[in-house]
A and B are shown apart, each in its own frame.
Chain A
Amino acid sequence: QSVLTQPPSVSGTPGQRVTISCSGSSSNIGSNTVNWYQQLPGTAPKLLIYKTNQRPSGVPDRFSGSKSGTSASLAISGLESEDESDYHCAAWDDSLNGPVFGGGTKLTVL
């Protein structure tokens, strides 16, 4: 089982705002920054958000990240059909001395 907990799936309609949660503990999200990766079907993961709320160049500002305590969230506003993908959260874990991931969330655009 994954160390970080994500919902298996979320869905939304075009134009809607959706959020994906990522729950951890004091040894990972509670004390370190969070990264999010987008994985389109059949492709490698791609960095979407780093250091909890930073967007790499080229990532639309429709994507945003936040953190509170031992939980983090990815928000996607103005949902588009091309956003249909798997999303993975990740954070360094001080107890395990390595990065840990969530199980991934499949976003469906209805």
Chain B
Amino acid sequence: QVQLMQSGPEVKEPGSSVKVSCKASGGSFSSYTITWVRQAPGQGLEWMGRIIRIFGTINYAQKFHDRVTITADDSTSTVYMELSSLTSEDTAVYYCAEEIVPATSAHSWFDPWGQGTLVTVSS
């Protein structure tokens, strides 16, 4: 099973950008679907977007589509999530996870998850 290791915590100023990495080990990186989910303090989970490596497709949640960019580096088996124009409301733990898609997205699930990356936005 794939293992996902994320980059360390970040502190950013309002208006700046943050780039979080998610390195995959085990299995075939080219066949992964990696999804990004965030969790603000004391809040629920929120899907941000995903990259479907086998098709080269990237989908973004409508809420973030103009601020988030997901990319992948095949040479290092790493997926990146960059979020721009940060505000205090972006303070959250950001998780990557492998999305298992047996047939269609309607029946997919997330397993395993990375350990999470805390991003704090503060002046």
Contacts and interface: CB of A to CB of B under 8 A. Distances in A.
Interface of A: 2, 31-33, 35, 37, 44-47, 50-51, 56, 88, 90, 92, 94, 96-104
B28 to A, nearest CB: 20
B105 A101 contact: no
A101 B113 contact: no
Nearest to B115: A44
Contacts, number: 68
Nearest to A99: B47
B44 A88 contact: yes
B110 A35 contact: yes
A53 to B, nearest CB: 12
Interface residues of B, number: 26
A103 B108 CA distance: 19
Nearest to A4: B44
B111 A56 contact: yes
Contacts of B44: 2, 88, 101-104
A33 to B, nearest CB: 5
Given A98-B47, A101-B44, A45 B113 contact: yes
Contact of B43 (A32, A46, A103): A103
Interface in B47-69: 47, 59, 61-62
Nearest to A33: B107
B95 interface: yes
A51 B102 CA distance: 10
Interface in B18-63: 35, 37, 43-47, 59, 61-62
